[in-house]
Amino acid sequence: MEELLKKIPPEKRWAITAKALTRLVISRMTKTGAPLLGKGEGITLLLTGREKLNEIQEGAWSKGGTLRLPWVKEMFNISVEDAIGAAKLVKVAATLLAGPEYQLDIVDATPERVVIRRSQCPWWNRYEELIAELPLRVCEPGHIGWTEEGLQSINPKLTYTLTKALPWGDPYCEEIIEFKEE
Amino acid sequence: MTKLENVLSPEKGWAITAKILIGFIISRAVKTSSSLLGKGEHFTLLVTGWEKYEEILQNVYGDIGKQLCHYVKETINTPVEDAVTAAKLYRTAWTLLSGPDFEYEIVQASPEEAVVRINNCPWLQRFEEFEIGPEHRACHRSHQANGEKGLMVFNPMLTFKLTKAPQWGDSYCEFIIGLKDF
């Protein structure tokens, strides 16, 4: 590694890259195109409507979840035999996706049921920086699709429910993972 | 519960996050939403046309170039009074955008001009993985804007010119960083 880069600690490098790239995702897809096109709204939303955009988001992110969660499970050898293992996997996979800015805490845990609270979310933080209009922040269909489909692809006994969400006006996102024998 | 830092080192996290997010930008911006919409390739380009699309990219990547070069300038804290120093600092900024897989080499160096060759580009790799041909890529425009605007942060007398790119039939990217009125 070149000398100048070594002056920046690894944790910081990771954080900067993640922040820059999540910013690119949000600004490329949602914001920057719109003013340049002379329209007041997000380019994709404007062209598709909310229902179709939700479908696009959920479809794209579900695909990512079914690819990424099993990959992370294998790479880090995370056992997913109950809800606690599933929550651990979600935490590692989400952090790998969007960087260490994520603050995911397990606030309640039994093997059958885990509650995760996301108090810092890189995607939401980028929305806050770039997009004032709440209707243009379309993240929860992707969030649900990515986690639910990803977990189901690993173990169909796992269920996933998003119970609180920043775009719904809650102060944080909260989700429940359950492991049901039958 | 296992702590995240016990599973995931920042070096590894940095590399994985960069790879995933660049893949996400390329696949989502260019391919996934279009296939979901059933409109063939390249959703944004289809809507905007080339001229507007390039303008969008220049705006987004120019902005990111400025931000990262500001960070590098403040962190490294070295005066930039020649082209070689500028090329080294710009390499740090571009690596912070693209992750540790990015490799670039200064192949010709004098105080007034540095010729730089990109030996490994994660963006190009992701285009190839997703089978997106040169006719649908506009990364040369993004790169030109990123370089021009980013280098201005180091020193307003610096210039950036992309001289080779796969879109033009070259096998790698090459650019020249110059210092006006040296």
Domain boundaries, chain B: 48-179
Report chain A's C-alpha Rg in angstroms.
Answer: 17
Residue of A nearest to B105 (CA): A2
- Residue at token pair 């169909």: A156
Cβ-Cβ contacts under 8 Å for B102 (sequence gap 6 or more): B94, B95, B118, B120, B121, B122
Query: How many Å apart are CA A163 and CA A118, to the nearest integer?
Result: 12
Would you state the CATH architecture of domain B48-179? Answer: 2-Layer Sandwich (3.30)
Residue of A17, A68, A95 lying closest to B99 (CB–CB): A17
Taken in order of first residue, the domains within chain A and their CATH numbers are 12-179 (3.30.1380)
> What is the pLDDT tens value at each position of chain B, 182 positions in all?
456 667 789 999 999 999 999 998 887 665 555 555 554 445 666 667 778 777 888 888 999 999 999 999 999 998 999 999 999 999 999 999 999 999 999 999 999 999 999 999 999 999 888 887 787 788 888 899 999 999 999 999 999 999 999 888 899 999 999 998 76
Taking alpha carbons only, the member of A171, A162, A58, A62 closest to residue A120 is A171
Residues of A in contact with B9 (CB under 8 A): 10
Residues of B in contact with A98 (CB under 8 A): 17, 21
Residues of A in contact with B17 (CB under 8 A): 14, 17-18, 21, 96-99
Shortest Cα–Cα distance, B10 to chain A (Å): 5
Residue of A17, A99, A100 lying closest to B97 (CB–CB): A17
pTM of structure? 0.90
